[in-house]
Chains A and B, each alone.
Chain A
Amino acid sequence: MKTNDVIFQTTTKVVLFIIVMFSIFLFFAGHHNPGGGFIGGLMTSSAIVLLLLAYDIKTVKKILPINFLTLTAVGLMIAVLTGVGSFLFGAPFLSHTFDYFELPLLGETELATAVLFDIGVYLVVVGVTMTIIQTIGESE
């Protein structure tokens, strides 16, 4: 018997965006406040998990046509390339720098290369958790 979970699905539609926004906030807050790539990534994937619970795997795959293994690889690549990038400036592996810029809309903003590295971490965490959950979910 297929249960009708319209309340669940409707709530999900609303809550999902809040969770995603919160995860993005956590990610960007990481440099100065609690948060960062790891917790941000986990939070994003929990949003997707919620989606998985509300709908089935096929639907989620249609909504998010992402191969999460590739995502993991891309994340790793970004993290490594950030490290290698410091060679271009004659600095040791994984040296970071930061500076303040005047950006439109945002005003004076700090941009740090560490955030690039954190993006790599973020993508890997999302990729890994989703790969694990999806594979286990798909298996008989």
Chain B
Amino acid sequence: MTLLHLAILSPFLMAILVPFIYKFVRNVHTGWFVLVLPVTLFVYFVQFIPRNMNGQTTISTAEWIPSLGINFTALVDGLGLLFALLITGIGALVVLYSIYYLSKEKEQLHSFYVYLLMFMGAMLGVVLSDNMIVLYTFWELTSLSSFLLIGYWYHREKSRYGAQKSMLITVFGGLAMLGGFVLLYLMTGTFSIRETIGYVPAIMDHYLFVPAMLLILLGAFTKSAQFPFYIWLPDAMEAPTPVSAYLHSATMVKAGIYLVARLSPVFALTPEWFWIVSTVGIITLFWGSFNAVKQTDLKAILAFSTVSQLGLIMSLLGVGAASLHYDMLDDNIFTVATLAAVFHLINHATFKGSLFMVVGIVDHETGTRDIRKLGGLMSLMPITFTIAVIGAFSMAGLPPFNGFLSKEMFFTGMLRVMEFDLFNAQTYGFIFPVLAWLGSIFTFLYSMVLVFRTFTGKYQPEKLEKKPHEAPIGMLIPPIILASLVIVIGFFPNIISYSIIEPAMASILPTLLMEGEHFYVNIYMWHGWTPELFMTIGVVALGVLGYLTLPKWRRIYNLFPEKLTLNKAYDGGLKGLNTGSERLTKFYMTGFFRDYLAYIFAFMIVILGSTIAIKGAFSYSFDDLAPVGPYEAVIAVVMTLSALTIVFSKSRLSAIIALGAVGYSLSLFFVIFRAPDLALTQLIIETVSVALFLLCFYHLPEFKKVETKMRFKVENFIISAGVGLVVTLIALSANSQQVSDRISNYFIENSYYLAGGKNMVNVILVDFRGFDTLFEVVVLGIAALGIYSMIKLRLSRGEEQS
């Protein structure tokens, strides 16, 4: 355990303290105490920046389960540090925001901050773990704490629905990811990501390599809300707004991005990775932005916008994988995609965080998030409006904000796909810039809707629950900080390019760097008259046109049938699973013993019979057989006839008597096979059991006591004949294949000398194997007690109540 480990685990430790603080310090908002932690952590992580700029990484290991190779290895490299700064920085702002957002009196603050701190710690663990199992542990903790946070207002139906949905989808992906990690472990023998990278050339052609990749990508796509798994994110908007701002825009949904970036050095050389990651990303981008335009709820717009922006980053990471196919750093035109991914990741966290906070303020001050009710808030909430404009314009990709820079780079990356001369990219690559451009137009559209529908237009006070006014200053500070970052990064992008982006790129594309080399990143506003700039101009022009004519072409959203949406598919699938499994259970769990017996016997026939058939186990030989004498033959015939009588008899009484006949012929068999003890016992036991059968028969209820012949059923006949046949076959084969000597010779030789008894059966029962007898006696005792208590303890309903 080092200070670094303590830093990662400190939110969990703090979470233990929170309820006590909440209980004993009631007049101060609990959030103030919580706020100290992320601020401290942020300052702590900032100190790593100089080291990472020099290309150094910090690693420290704490042993957890060393025998399985599972150790808590904390690794601070460029990528991890970038995320750690996002988590702690935005975490601090969100805690500050939540202090003003959540009421001290009305809300269960201790639960909120415990969940939030759990999430923060889990997220830090995800991004700073080098061990895949530890990463997975923290990964599931983020799913769990996110579930708790979405369902924070658990008395609302929709909160519970959203929480369940996100849990099901992200845990599904998480488990798939675990499967991927295990497959990687099978190939490499290590859980360490760094060591796995070293093995990559050797395992590239392993048959488990692509399955491992697909499983891990499934985890990343579900967590990062990629197509078609994005459906949980809009429903997760039922969470309190600080949670949406923190989890569902800046941090948790980027865990999948992190995973893809982190494992790029492992998988990126395969064509599947390039195609899957970039295609899924670009489809998500387009689909998310297309759907965002039709939303009327501010948070839903932001949710779909997050989906779309995550798709953008994902597609950039996919395209960035192309750069690994060229060894040289010079003129490697595809590194720009990775650069754009990292840069947009930071930008998105800043502007989306601020936008969520703005929406939270609007919601908090007006009581609604519906854009049809809102309008004309510009003069009432000028500061909020300013922040919203900055955030939304940055999201739309307008200068001079940071979104413009990353969007330009995004276009550059997408245009360059067409120059990639592997994996058929030159043939199909054109869809990337086209979809990217279309997606950007929709992005522009919904950004404008977000700002202008809320803050301009007609003020409708009659539709609002509260009288709107500007938010308190504490609620405004966090979005102001984020919005100023948007502007600062927009104007001076290079303050983060050397310190943060370059080390992060070095972690995503480590194989491109020689010793002592580092990426040279220089971002500037003006590129000259490049195609990207014309694309942006086109986006703005078409976007403005689209916004002005929005009511006219809105109808195209109705063209898409409601029944075919992914949400319907999810709900229907869940319902279908429920009803399907219920139907299946009802189908085979009939409640009738005869059906269960039929299953059991049918399985017995199938399993034993097929084993005999497959293994070729059946054999018979007549070498070891004794001659059949007349006595045996006669008794066998008697026994068979009595058995047939049981089956075909019309009355129960004759069946019972026939059963007795079978039993007595059995004891006759014992006699002629020289087993006097068995014969004696069988005789008496048969008598007792026939007497008991007669007792049962005598006490059958009068009502409906119709003596009917047993009905014939073909399936029962087949099953019983099958059982008889299989058992006979097995007995024959077993008898013909005597592999070892019998141990009875030992008993014959020793029963008198060692145990002093001439009755070998009895000596075996009480001496050689007395232990069995002891417990058979116990069985008898239990049976007696059982019968005694069944008959004596007949509590009818009336007696139970008294």
Contacts and interface: CB of A to CB of B under 8 A. Distances in A.
B688 interface: yes
Given A96-B767, A136-B787, A112 B780 contact: no
Interface in A11-33: 26, 29-33
A30 B213 CA distance: 73
B684 A132 contact: no
B770 A83 contact: yes
Interface stretch (B261-269, B432-440, B740-748, B758-766): B758-766
A117 B785 contact: no
B595 interface: no
A61 to B, nearest CB: 15
B271 interface: no
Contact of A114 (B676, B695, B766, B777): B766
A15 B773 CA distance: 31
A124 to B, nearest CB: 5
A43 B684 CA distance: 8
A120 B170 CA distance: 63
Contacts of A36: 677, 759, 761-762, 765-766
Contacts of B680: 26, 34-35, 39
Contacts of B763: 31, 114
Chain A facing B: main interface SS: helix
Contact of B757 (A73, A93, A114): A114
Contacts of B791: 135-136, 138-139
B788 interface: yes
Interface residues on B, range: 35 or more
Interface residues of A, number: 46
B574 interface: no
Contact of B756 (A33, A73, A98): A98
Contact of A30 (B759, B770, B785): B759
Nearest to B752: A32
Interface string A68-101: 1100110110011001000000000110101000
Contacts of B695: 136
Contacts of B783: 128, 132
Contacts of A73: 781
B792 to A, nearest CB: 7
**Most chain-A CB neighbours within 10 Å: which of B677, B692, B757, B763?**
B757
Contacts of B759: 29-36
A37 B657 CA distance: 29
Contacts, number: 125
**Most chain-B CB neighbours within 10 Å: which of A80, A132, A138?**
A132
Contact of B758 (A31, A38, A42, A46): A31
A135 B781 contact: no
A131 interface: yes
B655 to A, nearest CB: 21
A79 B756 contact: no
B784 interface: yes
A128 B761 CA distance: 22
Contacts of A127: 781, 784
Given A34-B677, A128-B783, A135-B791, A75 B777 contact: yes
Contacts of B36: none
B725 interface: no
A125 interface: yes
Contacts of A51: none
Contact of B762 (A35, A68, A120): A35
Nearest to A39: B680
Nearest to A125: B780
B606 interface: no
A121 interface: yes
B784 A30 contact: no
A118 B787 contact: no
A129 interface: yes
A112 B756 contact: yes
A120 B777 contact: yes
Nearest to A40: B680
A96 B688 contact: no
Contact of A124 (B762, B766, B777, B792): B777
A14 B757 CA distance: 33
B685 A42 contact: yes
A1 B774 CA distance: 47
B771 interface: yes
Contact of A39 (B681, B756, B778, B780): B681
A125 to B, nearest CB: 7
B681 to A, nearest CB: 5
Contacts of B777: 75-76, 79, 120-121, 124-125
B545 interface: no
A33 B766 CA distance: 14
B781 A94 contact: no
Contacts of B17: none
Given A83-B774, A96-B755, A72 B765 contact: no
B684 A112 contact: no
Interface string A96-122: 101000000000001010100110110
**Most chain-A CB neighbours within 10 Å: which of B684, B778, B783, B784?**
B784
A114 B755 contact: yes
**Most chain-B CB neighbours within 10 Å: which of A37, A39, A68, A110?**
A39
Interface in A36-59: 36-39, 42-43, 46
Nearest to A94: B770
A5 B757 CA distance: 45
A42 B684 CA distance: 7
B766 A72 contact: no
A46 B763 CA distance: 25
A43 to B, nearest CB: 7
A33 to B, nearest CB: 6
A38 B783 CA distance: 16
Contacts of B787: 131-132, 135-136
Contacts of A35: 677, 680, 759, 762
Contacts of A26: 680
B350 to A, nearest CB: 76
A37 B766 contact: yes
Contact of A69 (B692, B757, B788): B788
B788 A131 contact: yes
B681 A42 contact: yes
Contacts of A29: 759
A17 B656 CA distance: 31
Contact of A112 (B677, B688, B757, B785): B757
Contact of B681 (A38, A72, A121): A38
Contacts of B688: 42, 129
B697 to A, nearest CB: 13
26 contacts: A30-B759, A31-B757, A31-B759, A31-B762, A34-B676, A34-B677, A36-B759, A39-B677, A39-B681, A69-B784, A72-B780, A76-B778, A83-B771, A94-B771, A98-B756, A114-B767, A114-B770, A118-B762, A120-B777, A121-B766, A125-B777, A127-B781, A128-B784, A132-B784, A135-B788, A138-B791
- Across the A-B interface, give the 9 residue pairs with the lowest CB-CB distance, nearest first: A98-B756, A34-B676, A32-B758, A128-B784, A131-B784, A31-B757, A36-B762, A94-B770, A128-B780
Given A43-B684, A132-B787, 14 more contacts: A31-B756, A34-B759, A35-B762, A39-B681, A80-B774, A83-B774, A96-B767, A98-B756, A114-B766, A117-B770, A124-B780, A124-B781, A125-B780, A135-B791
